[in-house]
Homo-oligomer: A and B are copies of this chain.
Amino acid sequence: MKFTSKIFNSHPSSDGDFFLGMKKILGFKPKNLEIYKKAFLHRSVNKKDADGNPMNYERLEFLGDSMLGTIISKHLYNEVPEGDEGYLTKMRSKVVSRKHLNELGKDLGLLRFVESRIPKTHFGENIHGNVFEALIGAIYLDRGYAYCEKFINERVIEPYVDIEQLEGKVISYKSLVIEWCQKQKTPFSYNVYEDTGNDELKHFAVKLTIGGRILAKARATSKKKAEEKASKRAYFALQNRMENQ
């Protein structure tokens, strides 16, 4: 496959735009913007630093992957006092699975910051998770451990880490709602839109319409979480009907 030397998906035109974009995603101000730029630099750009070392996000991804694992480990350690080492290892690998990280990167829309000579459409799914990890590596170098922990709490743990769901004890409310609608042959739709309002963090809002009526609304820091919240509300509203089927 041959690519032109054109750079695709380049950073927002100015440092100011990139700074604002980062600030919105991070929930705080980046100090050293250069580190964050590196987190979105694909190897195809073939950039080198002043000493001739290749510059791309892969080294930051290595660092971020490790830090993410550590903070998830600490969370699980504190949240599940009854879980042994094997349990903690298994749960951590669910949280940091490739699939899950790709979802996280996609929800944050990180691809738009990626600088590359490969057209966006040629990337596989993993680019989303890779730059998400690289972004954590950048936070670690720029602002240290405490900011990483805060970011991971807000962006990974709060919206995604539901231990009961990870254990498979509770299947998702969204699937319960969809199943019900399909059985009832009732049309339904989830309308998701960005609704950040005055928050520093990006937020998503969802309207769940069932049988032509808006049955629930919800707002959260990820699409999935917002949908799940709305579904849970709708589920309880429908519960009597569902149980009497």
Residues of chain A in range 45-83 having any CB-CB distance to chain B below 8 Å:
49, 51, 53-54, 58-59, 61-63, 66-67, 69-70, 73-74, 77, 81-83
Residue pair B74, A63 in contact (C-beta under 8 Å): yes
Interface residues of A: mostly helix, strand, loop or mixed?
helix
Nearest chain B CB to A85 CB, angstrom units: 4
Given A81-B49, A82-B53, A66:B63 Cβ within 8 A: no
Interface flags for A121-159 (1: CB within 8 Å of B; 0: not) read: 000000000000000010011001110000000000000
Q: Does A220 have its Cβ within 8 Å of any Cβ on chain B?
A: no
A243 at the interface (CB under 8 A from B): no
**A243–chain B nearest beta-carbon distance, Å:** 33
Q: Which residues of chain B come closer than 8 Å to A54, judged between CB atoms?
A: 84
In the complex, which residues of chain B have a beta carbon less than 8 angstroms from the beta carbon of A61? 85
Q: Which of B49, B51, B69 contacts A70 (CB 8 A)?
A: B69
Task: Answer yes or no: A88 CB below 8 A from chain B CBs.
Answer: yes
Residues on B with C-beta less than 8 A from A85 are 58-59, 61-62
A69 to B65, CA, bound (A): 10
Question: In the assembled complex, how far is the CB of residue A69 from the closest CB belonging to chain B, in whole angstroms?
Answer: 5
Interchain CA distance A81-B137 in the complex, whole Å: 14
Contact A74/B140 with A51-B81, A59-B84, A66-B69 known, Cβ cut-off 8 Å: yes
15 A-B contacts, Cβ less than 8 Å apart? A49-B81, A53-B82, A58-B84, A58-B85, A59-B88, A62-B73, A62-B89, A63-B70, A63-B73, A63-B74, A63-B77, A66-B66, A67-B73, A69-B69, A144-B145
Question: Given A49-B81, A61-B85, A62-B77, 4 more contacts at CB 8 Å?
Answer: A59-B77, A63-B74, A70-B70, A74-B141
